Amino acid sequence: MNNSAMKPKGICFFNSNRPWGGGEKWHLDFAQLTLERGYRVFAVTNEPSELAARLARLDKVKVLQTGISNLSFLNPFKLLKLARFFKKNKVDVVVMALPSDVKAGGLAARLAGVREIIFRRGIGVPTKNTLLNRFLFKKVITKLICNSENTKRTVLANNPDLIEDSRIFLVHCGFDVREFDELPGSPAVQRRPDEVLIGNAGRLTEQKGQKYLIEAARILKDKGLGFRVLIAGTGELEGPLKALARDLDVEDVVEFLGFVSDMKGFHQTLDIFALPSLWEGFCYAQVEAMTLKRPVVAFEVSSIPEVVRDNETGYLVAAGDARAFAERLERLVRDPELRRRLGENGRQRVIDNFEIHKTLDDFERVIQAG
């Protein structure tokens, strides 16, 4: 898809989140990719902002850093500043990340006469059914992009009529398979004789559910299996999770690696990826593992079933069921041919559905649609 006559000329990615996360990665990736496809690309970020720092490394992306809060839409000077930026740079499309962005950026874009004012929702949180939100979704936002069907359902949970279905589009986050394949990677640990390595990567928080993986490790240990669980990440539950491993007497088979920067090396070290999260948006870690042909065992929650196919690329079990989780892990630990087959299927699923250039094509179709 490269018909320049159809393309809007200027796209502005509007994301006021200060820290770095999956949403910020999406905005950075798509800023770079749309630039490569011939768009004029702009960005509005908060000040300071990790996204702004990374966007600064891209040539030809003009970034406006300005303080954005949930009440910025009440500041007429802020709205005029944003509107002038859109007008001066002849922005045709504004893609916003947060509800606060929709309020300030959306109203400013409307003042500036921007053709497409798009809210890109990457997390399954219900939208409050307020008068302001109903106005924004009916009169300001032209399209809603969701990164999963689960996100779409959740956003509309409080008001299914908030926005017409014809203005809602599914665009997955996207993953650059070729770039990931080309990355170097070093083993995260030394493999012991005759052991199967099970891994998890993510912040050590209640959401990520690592306690269920530690409980599953106790069940697997009772069966006398040769395995080790590697947990990558840091977070507020590091102390309690290590204490749980001690209490369950699994410190010999559960290893906390702390922060891991070489994620490709981590996944290459594994035989199985475990995802006991209680909810997820897209979860790049599972897609990284699948790209490297690792089967995934996960809870059947939020958008995870849209990525992991039960009995095809891994296994899905009911949320919080550590025993069922352990049973699926046991199947994979005992059967290397099963691991190979599900892993092969997983990589093909990523290529067919989540490869970033495919999702970029989907994004272009949204911004070009009448």
Judge if 159 and 187 occupy the same domain.
no
Same domain for 363 and 245: no
| Whether residue 277 is found in the same domain as residue 253 | yes
DSSP state of 226: -
Calculate mean pLDDT across residues 200-205.
95
Quick one: 149 and 64 in the same domain?
yes
The reply to whether 5 falls in a domain is no
Backbone angles phi, psi at 96, to 5 degrees: -110, 150
Question: Where does the pLDDT of residue 368 fall: very low under 50, low under 70, confident under 90, or very high at 90 and above?
Answer: confident
4 falls within a domain: no
Categorize the per-residue pLDDT at 8 as very low, low, confident or very high, splitting at 50, 70 and 90: low
Structure-model confidence comparison of residues 41 and 4, the more confident one: 41
Q: Do 226 and 254 belong together in one domain?
A: yes
Specify the amino acid at residue 364: E
Mean pLDDT score across all residues of the chain = 94
Calpha distance 216→274 (Å, rounded): 10
Instruction: Report the CATH number that the domain containing residue 132 is assigned in CATH.
Output: 3.40.50.2000
Q: List all residues 6 or more positions away from 280 whose beta carbon is below 8 Å from its beta carbon.
A: 286, 301, 302, 303, 304
Render pLDDT for 76-131 as a digit per residue (tens, 0 to 9).
999 999 999 999 999 999 999 999 999 999 999 999 999 999 999 988 889 999 99
**Which of 209, 196, 263 has the alpha carbon at shortest distance from 232?**
263
Residue whose C-alpha is closest to residue 369's, from 135, 102, 166: 166
CA 185 to chain centroid: 22
Q: Can you tell me the distance from the alpha carbon of 345 to that of 350, in angstroms, rounded to the nearest whole number?
A: 9
Cis omega (within 30 of 0) on the bond before 240? Answer: no
Residues 151 and 225 in one domain: no
Q: What residue type is 137 in one-letter code?
A: F
Beta strand ranges found along 31-99 (DSSP E): 40-45, 61-65, 93-96
Predicted confidence (pLDDT) at residue 53 exceeds the cutoff of 70: yes
pLDDT tier for residue 20 given thresholds of 50, 70 and 90: confident
Shared-domain flag, residues 151 and 187? no
Q: Does residue 2 surpass a pLDDT of 70?
A: no
Question: In terms of domains, do 124 and 201 share one?
Answer: no
The number of distinct structural domains making up the chain is 2
Share of the chain above pLDDT 90, in %: 91
Domain range for 346 is 183-353
